[in-house]
Structure 1
């Protein structure tokens, strides 16, 4: 079966990340299966660049990975004294000033934040291992379709670290505090069955059906008018921070905009 970005000219193809665009659907592919799509600062910068390179026609962004693993997490070379070529090692960063360290981590996090934009719906297609940074990258997306061989794990705590690539907020939102703490503190694997049952995954399918399932989901999202989806995503995204009464107000304002637009009275 052809992949979601097959035969398309890449908009971006660097440092283990390829971006292709087919009208309203953009596909971001992790392209280093030989290293199980392990992540590095260069890959994070490429992911950030991919987000900035999306044409205005894009409504759905699919995140996928080549090979048997979605992403085995952070490349352990980051923890060696030499680090990556042309990059400060994590050991060097730890020895630097607080402001510099904070700014560097904030830069890394940018690769994980743009998937939540209101103007697109992001779908992660996840197979095999999605560990640490790989788990957090899947969590960065709005929706997750997983293969039945998926193995999620948050291993940062076992390494003496914390999940710091924006994964803690969506994890707690999806599965609740107690289960999120247990997953992070133990570093255990979460199977496809548990992921679907607890809300980590929207759908679990056999691995050979993964891309077709994602394609069907993307098509279903595209079937609704764009502005209605944008407004609905913004409403749902903000619901956790609003009170019940504040959400009622936000719903009325959003609906008023939609009604005026449908009546031809929009700005």
Structure 2
């Protein structure tokens, strides 16, 4: 088997594409010594990884090296000195509101591209997925979890709120009441519960996580790409459409698929 092609490797993020099947890309959080704790530099690298995806990629796997998927935000962000070359979060809070809003929007970009209709994203989660780590797992379309996975939204416990795009998918998956309880208490949601309440699509023994994720990626590639793209767009749009609007969207999408199959597409 050929080694994967590395397209990006910096700031704790590595993007590789399978050399034998360019339809699968892997984004690895590669700072195991810090349990893949996140920083603004990591977020910029994650954003760049999305921009660098080859057009051939259909499935993106997100994984973390080491014992944990991601232990959340590196607490150094809240020290007076912050990170080298980065504004301290404490200093950011003292600046103009418009600049703070701009910076948070920039950070959120690392969490948004996983929802693109042209790819299906799969998070392979082991160990802790806390705060920003939980939100990064939620950014993906699907989650395969090891039986030792533990999710927690600790922002509220620290006097903050989840602001890295995690609140929308959390409410969508588990409902408002359960989402509020998870966030307000900051408690851990273990793998068994995560599967039961809809956070995890699949839970497997830790030793089988990579194989199970690879099997899911292969299954996602079995259907024609355009059909998967249209189906993902339909399902995502169903959240904001009413019943009649969704019926119309289904008809339009099916019309495009039938035209393509009949050789009438653009």
TM-score (norm 2): 0.98
Give the Å deviation of 1:8: 1.8
Count residues with an aligned counterpart: 263
Aligned to 1:33: 32
Using the alignment, how far apart are the partners of 2:87 and 2:208 within structure 1?
Answer: 41
Using the alignment, how far apart are the partners of 1:212 and 1:184 within structure 2?
Answer: 31
1:11-64 CA-partner distances (Å, limit 9, x unpaired)? 000000000012100000000000000000000000000000000000000000
SS in structure 1 of the partner of residue 123 of structure 2: strand
Written as runs of structure 1 = structure 2, the 5 A alignment for 1:63-78 is 63-78=62-77
Using the alignment, how far apart are the partners of 1:66 and 1:92 within structure 2?
Answer: 31
Aligned to 1:13: 9
SS in structure 1 of the partner of residue 180 of structure 2: helix
1:197-223 CA-partner distances (Å, limit 9, x unpaired)? 011000000000000000000000000
Using the alignment, how far apart are the partners of 2:194 and 2:140 within structure 1?
Answer: 15
Aligned to 1:255: 254
SS in structure 2 of the partner of residue 224 of structure 1: coil
Aligned to 2:220: 221
Using the alignment, how far apart are the partners of 2:219 and 2:70 within structure 1?
Answer: 27
Structure 1 gap segments, 5+ residues each: none
SS in structure 2 of the partner of residue 55 of structure 1: coil
Using the alignment, how far apart are the partners of 2:44 and 2:225 within structure 1?
Answer: 28
Give the Å deviation of 1:7: 2.7
Give the Å deviation of 1:9: 3.0
Aligned to 1:145: 144
1:153-212 CA-partner distances (Å, limit 9, x unpaired)? 000000000000000000000000000000000000001000000110000000000000
Written as runs of structure 1 = structure 2, the 5 A alignment for 1:94-243 is 94-243=93-242
Using the alignment, how far apart are the partners of 1:176 and 1:203 within structure 2?
Answer: 19
Using the alignment, how far apart are the partners of 1:147 and 1:91 within structure 2?
Answer: 36
SS in structure 1 of the partner of residue 232 of structure 2: helix
RMSD, matched Cα: 0.9
Using the alignment, how far apart are the partners of 2:208 and 2:85 within structure 1?
Answer: 40
1:59-114 CA-partner distances (Å, limit 9, x unpaired)? 00000010000000000000000000000000110011011000000000000000
Using the alignment, how far apart are the partners of 2:54 and 2:4 within structure 1?
Answer: 15
Does 1:92 find its partner at 2:116? no
1:195-254 CA-partner distances (Å, limit 9, x unpaired)? 000110000000000000000000000000000000000000010100000000000000
